[in-house]
A and B are shown apart, each in its own frame.
Chain A
């Protein structure tokens, strides 16, 4: 069966867009092929800096013929009905229709046959559509054609298009279409400098083969593996180890068509700069890899660059040039680092008075002041030294004003630690400066040193409460202040370190500080109700985050709701423990049956309440218990409630659940022997109230109504 080859040859496509573009091209073309009835066998897309390529094989030569039967009016129907049918079915006269009897009589049937079109013609319509509507994140116009409105848009100027279609054994056809003066053809070019001459191709196999000869490795995966293999070999030959970097590898594979890895070096005196700074300099600015002596060893004064050229001089000029640039960059970095060391962290703080944290939330200095206060209040709760927590909080943002962090924002925190150590701060303080941003994501480590925990919590709680106070909350995919990450960070800090904390108290605390320090928040905020609502909203945001977190760990998120629905739940650690205990309980036979009994009781009450348009709450009257099962249930509820409440007070949630389990036989027996809907109105009401007591009792451990299943 025929195959389609498409190549879109352009000026350099940004590396970060390439992988996505290949996938988008494959999907856009193949979806349209399938929609057009051209079911293909396989498709593969490729991308280099200068070309997007798609190969689709096993495409049918033509679309299948379509045959459709259309039922018309009854034989002998009104003339205009028949005329309408003839027209709609595209017949010349009614004599072309067949007559088919069914139970109701004889009907006209028109058979409409649409022959399939040649695939080549269909593809010639599909490809221009795909190209014109291609979803580049950013695209542009260029050249003389950009005078006209509606000119072709592409990621960078598009120069040529290969589009061939045909069976393996024959000379394929060129798909006949043109866009903005570019006619599809069968020619492309190789490497920009190593093989710039145009050449002709037939189909994917010879295309890829010829590209290989023209110094273009078409497959991105292959380019990556060439780079990695060459890099490791070069490192190994020198007895060194490559520091692998997947993100950088991805990027450089998108910057070359013919990767050639070369090794350069820099003056060893630069090794006095922290490794991370060297790495950031060489990686971010020069897109080169760094090397070390062995696992966990320090960096060495060598780097690996990935060039796009088999140079005539073996790469001498390229290495020399890169070395010169890296020397200049490291000179800058060393200068920045040494300049930074001359100023103590605390001497930088004054500047924060002039730096706005957020228009409505005051300056960075005020923010630091709040974090400091919060950290010193949190310190005793997490077992940290108050003075150290306060000191760390005071210094934790100071490195934002250093030259190195200005240049490499991703080194914030880390540089703060180095500078703190250099000025002789306590180790716990230095670590807290680095760790207070943690955990930065779901895979990041959670700080476990008490001082770090205090500052990390203070920083995040301040951020959350601040943005809640001005009604800036994440919506949908928008979360510009990374508040979801902050909340998740709080949850992990608390749960992993088993910290007891009343969140609402700290939320209110931040609001008070904001008030005292005069953040620019508006007057409505000072209304008590507004602040209460902000705290409640913040707690439910935590509940949502906790649900996501637990769901990711495979736990049931409905149980989080069941616990949060109880009054005053703002201690995350207790909530998590209770959810765990509840989960285990519901896995037991007792738990399942109690939940079933609970559901049965509530559904009876709901139905009866609806029927009578009233509620059945309030304590039942013990004198009206007539059956032993009623009395037994009442007694069991009493015991369970008392025991569970006592256990919850002691924070022993397993014991609370065990107390609940004792309810089960009496509930089962009640449903077995007792009829609720009896004629005696008073008796019926009393029994409904008793059922309601089950509902009330279970609230000692959770709101069972939120539990699914």
Chain B
């Protein structure tokens, strides 16, 4: 089915090239039968926020997709000074609904496809239940360890946006930088070989992202306009509610019919969530306030989930 690492030209090998690693994973999951999507074009904290996971995990239809998702965690910025922490990084996300019976094997073969041989590496499934309080989602699963390094999250979604998943979807999330550091044998993320070339042609992760890490750290911790962000949160919340309300094909009564605008509404929910993360990084909301903001986003996510279940994509038949 898939090629082995040895068949690849040197610059495409996952153990030499960050982009080679991504391409190998895409190739592997494409061969298996996934739809390969591109990143969602909004700021999100994790691949789970992509509507291809959050919304598609709901409803009875089968759905198999894989994609890279740039993820932003404003609080994790370290001005590019910490070799392991970034405020912007990549996740590789696989969502398979219903979860196939051999999902663990599929996952292990995907590691093999990027050069991790289970005959010499210690691969372990260590309890870690996935929970996203902002999305009202939870599932059971593990963090997957390779020689003591957490390289992926493995979750069987039980509930998303407050709704039971029927059927259950399996979610795999690969931390691409960590994985690449591992297979490339590099201790500092900024030293990762990005394009797999040598000498003057070589482009490192630092060449691509170091300046961005420095600039965004300044922005996230020092400059982000908090008044504006509070306002943006409020606006996104209001817009989400407005689109949700407007999207129902018939009003009133217990039967609200179909929903015609779940996706645009959900965008606003994503927006609110990211704005909240920025406010959090600026340290302007207390622990208790933070909790109540999270609840507000969760309420939006739930309402979006409800709407999605009344759309073409979320319904049966």
Contact = CB atoms under 8 A, between A and B. Distances in A.
Interface of A: 11-12, 14-16, 49, 138-149, 155-157, 159, 192-193, 255-256, 286-288, 305, 307-309, 311-313, 316-318, 320-322, 324-328, 331-332, 335, 354-356, 359
Top 3 closest A-B pairs, CB basis?
Answer: A321-B147, A14-B127, A12-B125
B8 interface: no
Query: Interface centre among B120, B126, B187, by most A CB within 10 Å?
Result: B120
B82 A335 contact: yes
Interface stretch (B95-103, B194-202, B214-222, B248-256): B95-103
A324 B187 contact: yes
B288 interface: yes
B165 A288 contact: no
A147 B165 CA distance: 8
A156 B141 CA distance: 7
A287 B148 CA distance: 8
Contacts of B99: 142-143, 146, 157
A149 B167 CA distance: 10
A328 B187 contact: yes
Contact of B126 (A146, A148, A255): A255
A15 B128 CA distance: 11
B317 interface: no
B288 A332 contact: no
Contacts of B125: 11-12, 49
A143 B101 contact: yes
B149 A147 contact: no
Nearest to B144: A12
A308 B167 CA distance: 33
Contact of A147 (B146, B147, B148, B166): B166
Given A142-B156, A156-B140, A321-B147, A193 B118 contact: yes
A307 B149 CA distance: 12
7 contacts: A141-B156, A143-B99, A146-B99, A156-B140, A308-B124, A321-B182, A326-B148
Interface in B246-280: none
Contact of B84 (A311, A316, A332): A332
Interface of B: 60, 82-84, 98-101, 103-104, 118-127, 129, 139-142, 146-149, 156, 158, 165-168, 170, 182, 185, 187, 286-288
A308 B126 CA distance: 12
Given A15-B127, A332-B84, A141 B168 contact: yes
Query: Interface centre among B100, B139, B165, B167, by most A CB within 10 Å?
Result: B167
Contacts of B60: 147
Nearest to A193: B118
A311 B117 CA distance: 10
A636 B182 CA distance: 89
B94 to A, nearest CB: 16
A12 B123 CA distance: 12
Given A12-B125, A312-B119, A321 B158 contact: no
B147 A325 contact: yes
Contact of B122 (A146, A308, A335): A308
B145 to A, nearest CB: 9
A291 B142 CA distance: 29
Contacts of B103: 157
A193 B108 CA distance: 10
Nearest to A359: B288
Nearest to A354: B286
Given A305-B148, A311-B122, A317-B147, A144 B98 contact: yes
A140 B286 CA distance: 34
B187 to A, nearest CB: 7
B147 A322 contact: yes
Nearest to A331: B83
Given A146-B166, A356-B288, A157 B101 contact: yes
Given A321-B147, A355-B286, 16 more contacts: A16-B127, A138-B129, A139-B140, A140-B158, A142-B99, A142-B170, A143-B100, A144-B98, A156-B140, A159-B101, A193-B123, A255-B126, A288-B148, A307-B122, A326-B148, A356-B287
A382 B291 CA distance: 42
Contacts of A307: 122
Contact of A286 (B82, B148, B170): B148
A255 B126 CA distance: 7
Nearest to B85: A332
Contacts of B166: 146-149
Contacts of A308: 122, 124
Contact of B120 (A142, A143, A145, A311): A311
Contacts of A326: 148
A265 to B, nearest CB: 14
Contact of A141 (B84, B118, B119, B158): B158
A317 B166 CA distance: 41
A328 B83 contact: yes
Contacts of B156: 140-142, 156-157
Contacts of B146: 321
Nearest to B118: A193
A328 B104 CA distance: 28
A312 B127 contact: no
A144 B140 contact: no
B121 A317 contact: yes
Contacts of A320: 147
A328 B99 CA distance: 34
B122 A309 contact: yes
B183 to A, nearest CB: 10
Contacts of A354: 286
Nearest to A149: B166
Contact of A140 (B118, B148, B168): B168
Given A142-B156, A147-B167, A308-B122, A11 B147 contact: no
Contacts of B98: 142-144, 146-147
Contact of A325 (B149, B165, B167): B149
Nearest to A254: B127
B104 A11 contact: yes
